Amino acid sequence: MKLSTPRWWYVRHGAPRRLSRALLQPLSWIWAAVTARRIARATPVDAGLPVICVGNLTMGGTGKTPVVRELLRLLTDRGLAAHGLSRGYGGRLKGPLRVDPARHTAADVGDEPLMLARDYPLWISPDRPAGAAAARAGGAEVLVMDDGHQNPSLKKALSLIVVDGETRNGEWPFGDGAVFPAGPMREPLKAGLVRADAVVLLLPADLAAPDPDLLALFAGGPVLIARLEPAAPPPPGPQVGFAGIGKPWKVERALEAAGCELKDFVRFPDHHPYQAADLAMLEDLAGGHGAGLVTTEKDWVRLPADWRGKVAVWPVRARFEDEAALLNLLPGA
């Protein structure tokens, strides 16, 4: 399923689409019940090495993958053989296998694993215990799992929940708390938080401080503040941007905040596989503005090889405000 995220999911009070929400509510009850039963009945497998889970409570767009990359960097810098593990969403290969950026494509292994594998050892496997076993056999000393808070199959040494901390323009990361498909939640907020060891509140670079009301929700446990910062300035001159991620409007907002001369911005569904017609449309749109094309790393790795030279990639990185507090939580660090 290629999810085009409804913005009304993230309206806290007086959200529109009342009829749609009411009709979807019974499906939300079923979703929440099935998730809770699966978690309660599971017996997690001990992988024989520490597993750090970077998950979330909503359907996407929180910034998990940049946090995974930062954890892999911090652990690697401390001399640990840190490997990543992903289910490989969107890829045709099931694994378990180690992603090779020189050989695999996003269609093979998924866009996020391919992006991370350019910097760190990364394994894909929908069967998380099998993936963990393969990573351990491949030399991993600690595993950072991208997503999986609602997957109880692996025993976790540390469970981090990434929360989108941007609450501008009436947006709220959990909407009114409704579970998918009536809202963005994968499970009810309290049920998800009780299994978390800490919350990572991810803020855009230009937001001065987190919303006090949002912070108050996590008063019972550690909260780590991280910022999603540009790793490089946006390309110079007029640009047409595009993105197919969970919340593409946030890329548009971030590019503008970084000083990009943005003439237009095109939003695609999350994990959208770019076809010739999409690329021709973008090329025509950019040509009409006398502009270049710019996109995210996650989108760039999904482009055909002959298109990557035509599109500027704008990388971002997660940086923790209190790195020492994070290191105190990481096993082995």
Query: What residue spans define the domains of the chain?
Result: 51-229+318-329, 238-314
Bridging pattern class, strands 238-243 and 51-55: unpaired
Q: What is the pLDDT of residues 88-140, one digit of tens each?
A: 999 999 989 999 999 999 999 999 999 999 999 999 999 999 999 999 999 99
Quote the tokens at residue 175: 């909407």
Report pLDDT for 108. 97
Domain 51-229+318-329 adopts which CATH fold? Rossmann fold (3.40.50)
* pLDDT of res. 15: 67
Whether residue 84 contacts residue 143, with contact meaning beta carbons closer than 8 Å, is answered with: yes
Buried b (16+ CB within 10 A) or exposed e, 181-195: bbbbbbbbeebbbeb
Query: Quick one: pLDDT at residue 1?
Result: 41
Decide the pairing of beta strands 97-98 and 122-124.
antiparallel
> Which segments of 147-206 does DSSP mark as H helices, in order?
189-193
Positions of the chain with pLDDT under 50: 1
The reply to whether 51-229+318-329 and 238-314 are identical in fold is: yes
Which pLDDT does position 60 carry in this prediction? 76
Contact between residue 75 and residue 333 where contact means Cβ atoms under 8 Å apart: yes
The angle formed by the CA atoms of residues 198, 55 and 202, to the nearest 5 degrees, is 65
pTM score, two decimals?
0.93
Closest CA to 143 of 298, 330, 318: 330
As its CATH architecture, domain 238-314 has 3-Layer(aba) Sandwich (3.40)
Say how far apart CA 93 and CA 206 lie, in whole Å: 39
